[in-house]
Amino acid sequence: MYRKWWKFILGIIVLGIFIICIQKISSKHRNQSEQEHAEGYSKEPEQRNDFGEVPYFPHSKGKLLKQADGYLYGYWEGSLCRYDAETLEKTVLFQTTSKQSGDFFIQGDDIYFLEKPLCSSLDGKDCTLYRVKCDGTEQTVLAEDIPNTEYDDGSYEIDIYDDILYLLNANGNYYYRIHKDGSVTKALEEETLYGRLPEGYTPVSCDASYEHIESLPYYMRNYGYLFVKNSQGELVKLSAEGDNEEALELPADVQNGSVMITNSVLVYACYGDVDTWYIKSLKQGCKARPWIKMDPFHHVFAWDETGIYVADTKESGIDIFKADYEGNIAMELSDIPKGDHSPVLSSYIMDLLAVQDTYLYYNADQEEDGCIMRRDLKGEASPQLVDVYYENEAARISHKETAKNVMELSENVLFKSSLTKVFLYENTEGERNINEYLKQIYEKEEKAMEEEVESARQEEEMDPVPWAEADSDWKTEPVYESYLYVEAVIDYVDDRYIGVTCGHQEYWHGAAHGMYWSEDYVFDRITGKRVAITDVVENTKEEICSIVSKYVERQASWSDYLGPDSILEPKRFFLTKEGIGIHYDVYELGSYAEGAKNFVIPYEEFQWKESERGIGQ
């Protein structure tokens, strides 16, 4: 009997130990699962109805420079490239047919990007969406009928959230669903974050006031909630389901382009404050407080785990400051060089590309070539060359001369003028002849400038600007300025031809806006003579007008004083690597807001004279 009772007690003890062990194992697996969920959440948050800061994630505002798996990726001047972050060894992953730059998106081992020809288009649908592996293999065309943004309107921003690929542009978005086999099909807007926004809420990523506010998929991927404008025009946080909102309570006079959102805070400057920037935690209910003292027109452009980077762009270069989240200036760099020679890269991005790890990457010039440079932010080492993305052929065959002048027309009115001349080195008879032609152009420009100055002087004498109209803060310096700037640049070079554009910028005080116009010249390098479109193609004048008119009429109507025959005017003809160009100045084919228009007609549209075959290559 005693033995039976003891066996029963021992069984109870063993059962209890077994239950405790099971509970511990279950708890361990539950904790491990929660940790894995937390890690997954930090990479791509689930949709949230609460708001606040999120775990740190690397910020890459520079759309043309990204970092992944120890490599840097860039897409400029027609090349999608990968660089070893340590050695900077370069691998070209894709080479476009047009010298273009654009955004791209890295997801896992795949890179999604667009090839967008720089030629004009008749149907407006000639962009191609590609996917390629990060090592350059398995290049795949996903879609070929994407609307062209007509290059004057910028490029698409590419983003991905869930299984939707977003192509975002101020003039219209396009969406593609990514399937498990890697193929894509068009998606409807109502299937996307943009289509699911509740009534009264609008995205702000294309609003000039909030140029650093990112796209909806960007915020859903990294925050789990959205930053949008409500029906009152206020910047708010909004839950993914649209059932919860928190106003950020920004002042009405926030400085355009000053708002920057990190993983934990928001910073901004106001027009009303002379030099105070403010910081506000993303945690619910937190109020803004003064952050740093700095000119409100400085430019916030990047952030990392320890602080925010701010730029002051000057004529001599760019000064960089870094302030930590407590408001302490942690770093200062002066006179970072600017880049301005590439006709492609500089038109799409800032000079400051991005901050990655401890490096600042920026676009600069080195011996007249367009270069990507980097500078270690933690040391005094010299800047490193990452890549020469644009070789400036014109700089190797020419030199420039600039004459500037400032004239005081009265005690409070100035007239500024400058003329930049470009000349060839005269290594051939043809180049000497071209220079003689250019000298005649510059003589006419100098005479026209003298006449403009004299006209301005007489007008000022007849109707002077009284001091009473001057701002009271300007008591010792002239208040009103007028200017006329003329600059000649070589914008096309091949073995046979050289293209020169003479551009003008003009402003008269009191006018609603300035004016600009240009004249194009194409020269034969062998003879030195100026050539027209009829000198390089076999087509008749009527055929040329018919070909080009199709492209012009797709974008603009002929004005009352301009018709198809204006296409043949010599000042409009220019050459590019992609096609023959025809230029129209502002107001010639539309309003001032529509701007000047360049039409680049693909070379294959024309019949070439036998001696001109190969042009543009």
**pLDDT score at 465:** 61
- Structural domains in the chain, CATH included, are 45-200 (2.40.128.630), 395-461+478-612 (3.30.565.40)
- The candidate with the shortest Cα–Cα distance to 523, out of 602, 595, 428, 601, is 428
**pLDDT score at 124:** 80
Cα–Cα separations (whole angstroms), residue 388 to 16, 339, 365, 366: 72, 12, 9, 9
Please name the residues in contact with 168: beta carbons below 8 A apart, sequence gap of 6 or more. Answer: 156, 157, 158, 159, 205, 215
pTM of the model: 0.81
Q: What is the DSSP string of 313-352?
A: E-SS-EEEEEEETTS-EEEEEEEEPP----TTGGGTS-SE
**Cβ atoms 502, 441 nearer than 8 A:** yes
**Cβ atoms 420, 401 nearer than 8 A:** yes
Low-confidence ranges of the chain (pLDDT < 70): 1-45, 60-63, 150-154, 206, 208, 340-350, 464-479, 610-617
**pLDDT score at 83:** 96
d(CA 128, CA 143): 6
Q: Would you state the structure tokens that stand for residue 227, as one six-digit string?
A: 């930053």
**Cβ atoms 243, 258 nearer than 8 A:** no
**pLDDT score at 612:** 59
d(CA 525, CA 522): 9
**pLDDT score at 16:** 52
**pLDDT score at 206:** 66
